Amino acid sequence: QNTINKIAAGEVVERPSSVVKELVENAIDAGATAITVEIKEGGISFIRVTDNGSGINKDEIEIAFKRHATSKIESIEDLMAVSSLGFRGEALASIAAVSQVELITKTADSLSGVRYTIDGGVPGEVAEIGAPEGTTFIVRNLFYNTPVRRKFLKTATTEGGYIGSLVEYLALSHPDISFRFISNNQNKLHTSGNMNLKDIIYNVYGRDITNNLYEISGKSQDIEASGFIGKPMVVRGNRTYENYYINGRYIKSSIITKAIEDAYKGFIMPHNYPFSAIHFKINPAIIDVNVHPTKMELRFSNNEYIYNFVYDTCLKALNSKEL
Ligand code: ADP
Ligand code: MG
């Protein structure tokens, strides 16, 4: 069982940022309005995610670490129609198989909190402890028991950078949640949870980008878009500035990425990538979700319709007056 868990873990947990993604998505699913992500050494030795969400009941803790213990969704087809981010029920099992996990959690209707540890998939005890409402996960020494996978990690600085970008995406996708990101005891990001998208962009990316924004707004039968794009001094040599969300999820679609980048041709230098923060609402009925353990690829019943809508909407914004 442990071996199976360790192998399967590779599909969900590739690097420290994958751990942070799963823990934060769980916090969002638990209704948290404030989430703190704290890392040391790029998350390799230490990741702590604290939320003020629902907490986990004492008698559900051990089940939560079992594979396919999701309480959230019946079928993959439901995925686009539900608002919860978790659906496979394997994140906690996978994380716990390849690290040392400590969990402290308290629900609203229990008198005390609970502490639980699970080390390389080997469960420890469930003990009562004083704790505020919500959940804290600490993940230590990722891949300590799978040295080969550990060797594939990049430097702490690079791994920490991936986590920083991830928290940026998450903050942008949930303006209604307060995010805090601390790396090696330094505050890196703080959003208040009651900001609009433009305030968050300013908060996350600073003046350079905020001074160069164009508003995206478009609506068609099965798709809606809102948000901002920036040009042309606002570029990075990679796609980390290219944010978009589909029905509240941070998911990539090759069709949408291509449409955004094509719209930019003529506005930015070749080999540069634009800034974008766009929320798409797409009718689930026209989405076909193809799920691989780590990658989710969306297909649409009419790719050309989606491409044209995104391309036209972005081009219209880029040709409009700067904000
Ligand atoms: P999934 O998110 O796909 O359901 P996970 O392995 O990520 O699977 O989590 C397993 C279960 O643990 C969740 O379904 C949820 O019930 C519980 N859980 C995990 N993290 C939290 C959290 N931060 N707050 C409340 N419940 C949580
Ligand atoms: Mg999950």
Both tokens of 94, joined, read 């996978």
Atom of ligand 1 nearest to the CA of 91: 6
Same domain, 126 and 220: no
Terminal-to-terminal C-alpha distance of the chain: 56
User: Residue 64 Cα, ligand 1 centroid: separation in angstroms?
Assistant: 6
Same domain, 43 and 157: yes
User: Residue 29 Cα, ligand 2 centroid: separation in angstroms?
Assistant: 8
Last residue of some domain: 190, 217, 233? 190
Same domain, 67 and 26: yes
Surrounding ion ligand 2 within 5 Å at CB are 26, 86, 91
User: Residue 26 Cα, ligand 2 centroid: separation in angstroms?
Assistant: 5
Among protein residues, the one whose CA lies closest to atom 2 of ligand 1: 86
Cα distance between residue 317 and residue 178, in whole Å = 29
With a Cβ cut-off of 6 Å, ligand 1 is lined by: 22, 26-27, 30, 51, 53-56, 64, 69-72, 86-92, 135
**How high is the pLDDT of residue 256?**
95
Same domain, 212 and 184: no
Last residue of some domain: 190, 225, 244? 190
User: Residue 65 Cα, ligand 1 centroid: separation in angstroms?
Assistant: 9
Please give the C-alpha separations between residue 309 and each of 108, 223, 261, 297, 306, in angstroms, as whole numbers: 45, 8, 13, 19, 5
User: Residue 70 Cα, ligand 2 centroid: separation in angstroms?
Assistant: 8
User: Residue 176 Cα, ligand 2 centroid: separation in angstroms?
Assistant: 20
Same domain, 112 and 137: yes
**How high is the pLDDT of residue 238?**
77
Same domain, 120 and 77: yes
Atom of ligand 1 nearest to the CA of 87: 3
Last residue of some domain: 157, 190, 223? 190
User: Residue 86 Cα, ligand 2 centroid: separation in angstroms?
Assistant: 4
Same domain, 63 and 144: yes
Please give the C-alpha separations between residue 23 and each of 31, 92, 301, in angstroms, as whole numbers: 13, 8, 32
Q: What is the DSSP letter of 36?
A: E
Asked if residues 54 and 107 have their Cβ atoms less than 8 Å apart, the reply is yes
Same domain, 181 and 218: no
Tally of CB atoms within 10 A around 187: 10
Task: Give the CATH number for residue 257.
Answer: 3.30.230.10
Among protein residues, the one whose CA lies closest to atom 7 of ligand 1: 91
Both tokens of 167, joined, read 């928290």
Is 260 contained in some domain? yes
Is 240 contained in some domain? yes
Q: From the first residue on, what is the mean pLDDT of each consecutive set of 10 residues in the chain (323 residues)?
A: 53 89 93 97 98 96 81 54 59 94 97 97 95 98 95 96 93 93 97 91 83 92 94 71 85 90 85 87 82 66 96 94 73
The radius of gyration of the chain from alpha carbons, rounded to an integer in Å, stands at 20
User: What is the domain count for the chain?
Assistant: 2
Residue to mutate, 18, 25, 26, ligand 1, most ligand atoms under 8 Å from C-beta: 26
User: Residue 151 Cα, ligand 2 centroid: separation in angstroms?
Assistant: 26
Both tokens of 82, joined, read 């539900």
**How high is the pLDDT of residue 252?**
82
The 3-state DSSP class for residue 312 equals helix
- CB-count burial class (<10 Å; 0-12, 13-18, 19+) for 124: middle
Please give the C-alpha separations between residue 271 and each of 237, 260, 264, 287, in angstroms, as whole numbers: 6, 14, 11, 30
ipTM of the complex: 0.99
Atom of ligand 1 nearest to the CA of 73: 4
Same domain, 23 and 161: yes
Task: Give the CATH number for residue 176.
Answer: 3.30.565.10
Same domain, 14 and 114: yes
- HSE (side-chain half, CA atoms, 13 Å) at 273: 12
Is 201 contained in some domain? no
Nearest to 134 by CA among 32, 19, 58: 32
Same domain, 176 and 245: no
Among protein residues, the one whose CA lies closest to atom 21 of ligand 1: 26
Same domain, 243 and 127: no
The ligand minimizing its distance to the Cα of 27 is 1
Structural domain boundaries, residue 16: 2-190
- CB-count burial class (<10 Å; 0-12, 13-18, 19+) for 204: buried
Among protein residues, the one whose CA lies closest to atom 20 of ligand 1: 26
The ligand minimizing its distance to the Cα of 137 is 1
The ligand minimizing its distance to the Cα of 291 is 1
